[in-house]
Structure 1
């Protein structure tokens, strides 16, 4: 049931997102209405959202310490808010929307089934896994994401079966609705040499530091906008700044999901400005209160950074782009195993060792920072950080 709900919701979301993206690309003037869209989103969340405004962090907190059911109104709020963000040119993703819808819909079953707190936790994890798997077409990564994202450095093995069942069924349902996903190039095998391993470790460190920078900047932007006493005005001001920045850049290359640029990054080395501008615009979009996910922008940032590194590192551009694609996400979400599985599902097995090294190193170099402030440090990344064990990332 969880998989059917999450998969169907993701199918509706992806079809709608594709439509609004194509419409925006045909009407460049729509960007000028981004501040107005921000006002609508801000008012909706301020007067109707309540706790729903916390997004993914609300679901994570409910898994850690169950209190009240995730409100069903989160589904239309995050769906409508994300579509408005993309319709008028915000730089955001889609994972957060799908995960929140999956978790909220799954939690509605709690009342009907009268589940105990422990079983409710498993249901929420299954909902998150189903949402992630169905929005990207990666059931293995989706299942592992739900298990891994809760506790930094730890996995919830008690939820193993529910997570995999929900992820697999949600992906099947989304595809059954006729919804497809982006096809990425399959990587060729590359022999392991001291040089290739060294370059991979260096690239992984850069991916981890970039992930840390993205998380820090997004949270910093959020704190600055929190100074505005009336929350609905925050995305309005953010929208004005975004319009001004895009106008100064003279390109819409960094708006929306940016999938065409991600695909381009696998084909030819790109300049370093691509990842830098996407990082800045996404941090501003999400930090000021627009809706959407962080993950696809992280794919963009990682793939374009990896592509740019092909100019200085003697590795194939497609391999570096793929390592950045999963590595930056691994560092920002603190989910290296889920990101490795995603890399294998999207890019194939032959280059798996390189993807694994990039994910692990990026995870270590991002430190105890991440895009989910409700994530709890289950196992410190280094013994010097052991005093932070058991704390939420938002407390550090």
Structure 2
């Protein structure tokens, strides 16, 4: 009876939160699509990108304030209650993300959806007068709802919300609220007639392989998957290193902060005309012209250039590192899918399969969420290649280094318990672990 009451209570608490988040995310996705296609029709808008960067800077300076910490602010609040998640985070990030994409900035949408989810959840938490523990649960559910709704992957959204908070530890007490929130928010987006891009892996030809009479899997293909996944992990590391590095470099170069987005916007304009095509601007899902390189085109033989993944890395790290807003995940999908396309040619492997593996594996390495990304593979591409999805995501995770795109991500255990750098991006993993051990040892001594 107690369990039943617990489930009913959380369902009733989460229902209005998730419906609200799903509705706002649906509105955001509609606006985002409209802004992107408006830029397609008016290519001169790209020249206003530096001015858009200044506008975003002024918005955060005047209204956004602490909201500029974005996803990290929500994660910090879940780890340890502080100043709270401000209600204005949702409208500010929605507005500034639309501005970024309208003028051609290379960014994603996950960060926006997660911040919308966290901000709305925080507001409802105050209205419901929840205690500290329940507020943390509601914030976790808000992350799940935002993520699941924006990509149409509700199970992934729930697992991501739990896995992304602490490396090596999942708090299962938040699983039910997170899953309910993610599913309801996804249903709400669907009810508003917002559709997500569909991706497909082409059927692999049935050919005999080594030890096929004894093993249910092609070991030769599996070895190619592992080799490619090592590269996916290195690409994740490069992205994480670059996005933090760009921020540091530009902060040192410019003492006047509003000049940073101006410089970033000018560089992106220059690169676009140097390359001669706008393929690496904005989201990278819809094609601006026939033959453009997009995430869907990466699933087709010859659908990308050899260095498309690197150009997208440069564009996105410049965009986000110089103050423009959005998310990192969709660009990571683009980087992974195009890199998978390139590697499929080098390894003589199935194009669509390797594009799909790169799609989820680069994301797994950059966010330290291999479980969620494995489930994303199942939700987006089907369950037939689940083993390949898991191998790709966990291999990329191990080869992506100890950092990631989220500086607020904590660590319960290191990825590999070996020689860790003293300034590890996940808060000095070994030092934290040893400090906890010493603290427990001192308590025991006092008790004796």
TM range (shorter): over 0.9
| Structure 2 equivalent of residue 218 of structure 1 | 243
CA contact (8 A) 1:218 1:287 kept: yes
Kindly indicate whether residue 418 of structure 2 is the aligned counterpart of residue 384 of structure 1: yes
Matched, 1:231 2:257: yes
Q: Are the counterparts in 2 of residues 69 and 108 from structure 1 also a CA contact under 8 Å?
A: no
Larger Rg: 2
Residue number in structure 1 paired with 2:442? none
Q: How far off is 1:194 after superposition?
A: 2.1
Would the alpha carbon gap of residues 394 and 378 (structure 1) be closer, same or farther in structure 2, given more than 3 Å must change? closer
- Which piece of structure 1 moves more, 358-367 or 376-385? 376-385
Select 2:334's aligned residue among 284, 297, 300. 300
Written as runs of structure 1 = structure 2, the 5 A alignment for 1:141-220 is: 141-188=156-203, 192-220=217-245
Q: Deviations over 1:253-299 (max 9, x none)?
A: 11111114110110114332110100000000000000000000000
Root-mean-square deviation (CA, aligned residues, Å) is 1.7
CA distance in 2, matches of 1:361, 1:154: 18
Could you tell me whether the CA contact under 8 Å between 1:5 and 1:106 is conserved in 2?
Answer: no
Shift of 1:214: 0.2
User: Which residue is equivalent to 1:262?
Assistant: 295
How many residue pairs match? The answer is: 395
1:65 aligns with 2:80: yes
* Structure 2 Cα separation of the partners of residues 10 and 168 of structure 1: 13
Q: Do the aligned residues in 1 keep the contact of 2:201 with 2:356 (CA within 8 Å)? A: no
Kept in 2: contact 1:24–1:30 (CA 8 A): yes
SS of 1:310's partner is helix
- Once residues 323 and 338 of structure 1 are traced to their aligned partners in structure 2, the CA distance between those partners, rounded to angstroms, is 14
1:128-160 deviations in Å (ceiling 9; x for gaps): 000000000000111111010001122121101
Aligned twin of 2:354: 320
Answer yes or no: is the 8 Å Cα contact 2:404–2:425 preserved in 1: no
Please give the alpha-carbon distance, in whole angstroms, between the structure 2 residues aligned to 1:221 and 1:339: 26
Q: Tell me, which stretches of 5 or more residues in structure 1 are unaligned?
A: none
Aligned to 1:248: 274
Instruction: Please say if residues 327 and 362 of structure 1, whose CA atoms lie closer than 8 Å, have aligned partners that are also in contact.
Output: yes
1:357 aligns with 2:382: no
CA shift digits 1:340-379 (9 cap, x unpaired)? 1111111011111111110010011112110001101122
SS across alignment from 1:66: coil
Moved more, 84-93 or 269-278: 269-278
Q: Distance in 1 between matches of 2:40 and 2:259?
A: 26
1:336 is aligned to: 370
Among candidates 4, 29, 34, match of residue 14 of structure 1: 29
In 2: Cα distance, 1:109 partner to 1:266 partner: 41
Question: Once the 2 structures are TM-superposed, how far is the Cα of residue 193 of structure 1 from its aligned partner?
Answer: 2.1
**Pair 167,385 (structure 1): closer, same or farther in 2 beyond 3 Å:** farther
Contact 2:403 2:425 in 1 (8 A): no
In terms of mean alpha carbon deviation, does 213-222 or 380-389 score higher?
Answer: 380-389
Once residues 365 and 341 of structure 1 are traced to their aligned partners in structure 2, the CA distance between those partners, rounded to angstroms, is 20
Q: Is the 8 A contact 1:205 1:362 kept in 2?
A: yes
- Contact preservation (8 Å) 1:295, 1:329: yes
Conserved? CA contact 1:4–1:169, under 8 Å? yes
Deviation at 1:233, TM superposition (A): 2.4
2:38/2:102 contact within 8 Å kept: yes
Q: What does 1:86-105 align with in structure 2 at a 5 Å threshold?
A: 86-105=101-120
1:318-352 Cα shifts (integer Å, max 9, x gaps): 00000000000000011011111111111011111
Change (3 A) 1:388 1:166: farther
Deviates more, 1:64-73 or 1:95-104: 64-73
2 CA distance for matches of 1:393 and 1:284?
A: 23
Query: Does structure 1 conserve the Cα–Cα contact (< 8 Å) formed by 2:201 and 2:352?
Result: no
Does the 8 A contact of 1:188 with 1:350 survive in 2?
Answer: no
Distance 1:278 1:85, change over 3 A: same
Q: TM-score, normalised by structure 1?
A: 0.96
Work out the CA distance in 2 between the residues paired with 1:268 and 1:325. 16
SS in 1 for 2:160: helix
Q: CA separation in 2, counterparts of 1:383 and 1:106?
A: 36
Contact 1:90 1:285 in 2 (8 A): yes
Q: Which moved more, 1:324-333 or 1:239-248?
A: 239-248
Using a 3 Å threshold, how does the CA distance of structure 1 residues 28 and 320 change in structure 2: closer, same or farther? same
